[in-house]
Structure 1
Amino acid sequence: MLDRIKASLPSLAPAEQRVGKLVLADPRSFASLPVSELADRAHVSKPTVVRFCRSMGYDGLSDFKLKLVGTVSEGVPFIHRSVDVDDKVSDVLVKVIDNTVAAFLKYRNDASTHAIEKAVDALMETYRRRGRIEFFGAGNSGIVAQDAQHKFFRLGINAIAYSDGHMQVMSASLLGPGDSVVIISNSGRTRDLMDAADIARKHGATVITVTASGSPLATAGHIHLAADHPEGYDRYSPMTSRLMHLMIIDIMATCLALRIGGTALQPMLREMKNNLRSKRYA
């Protein structure tokens, strides 16, 4: 949570930056002080303190403080251990698994349920209006986009994934009000994805970004789902980041399935399973 605040500071308004710096300077005190005291210490108004919390993806000051206390008091010790050239197979196994587990637990502590709920609300609205839900990603994130399409179309949703930059721009040009696009990126700096986000937003579609806080893509959409981790996007192949993106997609797909309801889904999924039986050996 503190890492995300630090990364997001440059994109905040000056007054909100002062609130963010106050959090980083003494998280424990921030979590215990009333809003009036926090406003005085940051030299801002009380609404600005609340606005900062919402800018970070939380429902308000109370929700922000609750997560802050959890991060400071019960935070998961996170040490990202890079794989070295002289590591044995046993070392690589332990490092890769430990890095992934620690990243998942850290995300559980830091994730903004408010932002996820907003994303699920938007996707559910698109489903109700029989709009299109599209997933864009490049490279490894393109594979995550394909996985997302597979999960969502099994729910009876009109979903499609594109990993080619030209196709993304063309498809974004055809989106409109009632449609949604989920853009996935590890770095949040891919030009094609930024172009597609701008076009989709201009045409009235809801743009949801799954990327690192403080990146250009994080502020290019309507809803940002932070996916922060210490893994460098310029070294080796993304491992922790890809799995984190898959997990976020799983969370949204599960929430959406619960919203749609078993009465609508179960008969369809049952028929799909029966139709697939002929594809398997007995």
Structure 2
Amino acid sequence: MNFSYSDPRTVGPRIRMMMPHLTPLEGRVVDMILGRRDLDETTSLKTIADDAGVSEAMVVKIAKKLGFAGFKDFRAGIVEYNRLPTAELHQELSPDDTGAELAQKVFRTSIHAIEETLSILDPEALERAADLIFAAHQRDFYGIGGSAQIARDVSHKFLRIGVRTSVFDDAHMMLMSAALLGPNDVAIGFSHSGTTTAVIEALELARRRGARTIALTNYATSPLAEIADVVLCSTAQGSPLLGENAAARIAQLVIFDAVFAAVAQRDLAAAERNLSATMKAVTAKRRTA
């Protein structure tokens, strides 16, 4: 995943994507720094280290581990990120929130995830994914739990334009599917964490069989991403009640809306013809006034 480090919009997503690679202590230090509302260009390394209860060398080490040149680069990135209008979109839920306030916060969290996902979206990866899906003979989707629901939604989209896919949400069925794939096929693994064993094992087997592989995940350096030919990455900031998955789900659906449009573009005439046919097929199932 390539980031434009000069773009402050990528700072939050970049840090979150690297969090799984930090130790629990390092993660707590980063959470403390991100939670400081008084952080500015004058905040010293000593102040941060003392507040976190760690050495100054530890703070510098964490900054470099996250991909920054050092503490000053890390501090400047967070300060610039916090100044963005979208930084205020994400707000924690409170027991005192009214229904209207809850709705505002939930919607803003999703908007935040979409804005940040767009900022890190790799256009080349999106085009490659569209090419693989369009050209494939067999397209198998793998996902467990909430990720399986995303896979089903994506499958439904593609069926509307005549692009047939198969969704598997059982570990054994995934492996059976992967064992039958070949060089003309594509396997897509859906996993928010990128650590779901069943999905990883299925994608690994599909790759050994010669199929091309695509991963949709929230972490560009996850085990699932490491074994995929193409990685499509969302980014979402978690909250105690909603978690990361809620906002990431919206961002991931939008990512595949873009992939869907790109696949349809490969043969727009066929896509429009098939869309008309599938819409006509279900018209009789709708009640008229």
Q: TM-score, normalised by structure 2?
A: 0.70
- Residue of 132, 146, 158 corresponding to 1:152: 158
Query: Given residue 192 of structure 1, which amino acid in structure 2 is its aligned partner?
Result: A
| Deviation of the 1:172 alpha carbon | 1.2
Matched, 1:139 2:149: no
CA shift for structure 1 position 82 = 2.6
Is the contact made by 2:142 and 2:199 (CA closer than 8 Å) also made in structure 1? yes
Alpha-carbon offset, residue 23 of structure 1 = 9.4
Q: What TM-score results when the alignment is normalised by the length of structure 1?
A: 0.72
Query: In the alignment, which of 230, 246, 250 is matched to residue 223 of structure 1?
Result: 230
Matches within 5 A, 1:70-149: 77-79=86-88, 80-126=90-136, 131-149=137-155
Q: 2:29 aligns to what?
A: none
Q: Conserved in 1, the CA contact under 8 Å of 2:18 and 2:66?
A: no
* Higher relative contact order (CA closer than 8 Å, sequence separation 6+): 2
The 3-state SS of whatever aligns with 1:238 is: helix
For residues 145 and 190 of structure 1, the distance between their equivalents in structure 2, rounded to whole angstroms, comes to: 15
| Uncovered stretches (5+) of structure 1, i.e. residues with no partner | 12-16, 30-67
CA distance in 2, matches of 1:204, 1:24: 44
In the other structure, the counterpart of 1:58 is none
1:234 & 1:135 partners in 2: Cα distance? Answer: 29
Q: 1:181 corresponds to which residue?
A: 187
TM-aligned CA distance change 1:180 to 1:76, over 3 Å:
farther
CA distance in 2, matches of 1:191, 1:233: 25
Partners in 1 of 2:12 and 2:174 — Cα distance? 31
Alpha carbons of 1:173 and 1:233: their partners in 2 closer, same or farther (altered >3 Å)? Answer: farther
State the Cα deviation string for residues 203-229 of structure 1 (Å, max 9, x = none): 111110010222221212111111111
3-state SS in 2 of match to 1:228: coil
Q: What is the rounded CA distance, in whole Å, between the counterparts of 1:109 and 1:133 in structure 2?
A: 28
Q: CA RMSD in A?
A: 3.1
Q: State how far apart, in whole Å, the 2-side matches of 1:257 and 1:168 are.
A: 27
Partner residue, 2:61: none
SS in 1 for 2:245: coil
**Are the aligned partners of 2:236 and 2:244 in contact in 1 as well (CA < 8 Å)?**
no
Map 1:27-38 to 2 at 5 A.
none
Looking at structure 1, the residues matched to 152 and 71 of structure 2 have their Cα atoms a distance apart, in angstroms, of: 38
Deviations 1:5-29 (A, max 9, x none): 4435969xxxxx89943499649x9
Task: Please name the residue that 1:163 is paired with.
Answer: 169
Alignment of 1:238-257 (within 5 A): 238-257=245-264
Tell me by how many angstroms 1:2 deviates: 2.9
Distance 1:8 1:272, change over 3 A: same
Q: State how far apart, in whole Å, the 2-side matches of 1:117 and 1:133 are.
A: 16
- 1:191 is aligned to 197
Contact in 2 for aligned 1:145/1:163 (Cα 8 Å): no
Whole-Å separation in 2 of the counterparts to 1:233 and 1:152: 34
Q: Does 1:281 align with 2:282?
A: no
8 Å contact kept, 2:194–2:223: yes
Letter in 2 for 1:111: L
Take 2:116 and 2:71, find their aligned partners in 1: how far apart are those partners?
Answer: 17
C-alpha distance in 2 between matches for 1:24 and 1:133: 45
1:77-113 Cα distance to aligned partner (Å, 9 max, x none)? 3243232344322221011001111211222222111
Distance of aligned partners of 1:226 and 1:265 in 2 relative to their CA distance in 1, 3 Å threshold: closer
- Corresponding residue of 1:205: 211
Distance 1:82 1:233, change over 3 A: closer
Amino acid at match of 1:186: H
Quickly say closer, same or farther: Cα 1:266–1:166, change in 2 above 3 A. Answer: same
Identity of aligned residues (%): 26
Q: State whether residues 142 and 189 of structure 2, in contact with CA within 8 Å, keep that contact through their aligned partners in structure 1.
A: yes
What amino acid is the match of 2:127?
Answer: E
CA distance in 1: counterparts of 2:139 and 2:234, whole angstroms = 20
Letter of the 1:144 partner, please give it: I
Question: Where does structure 2 lack aligned partners over 5 or more consecutive residues?
Answer: 1-9, 23-63
Q: Provide the C-alpha distance between the structure 2 equivalents of 1:242 and 1:78, rounded to a whole number of angstroms.
A: 19
Paired residues of 1:208 and 1:223 also in contact (CA < 8 A): yes
Deviation at 1:234, TM superposition (A): 9.3
The equivalent of 2:25 in structure 1 is: none
Name the structure 1 match of 2:68: 21
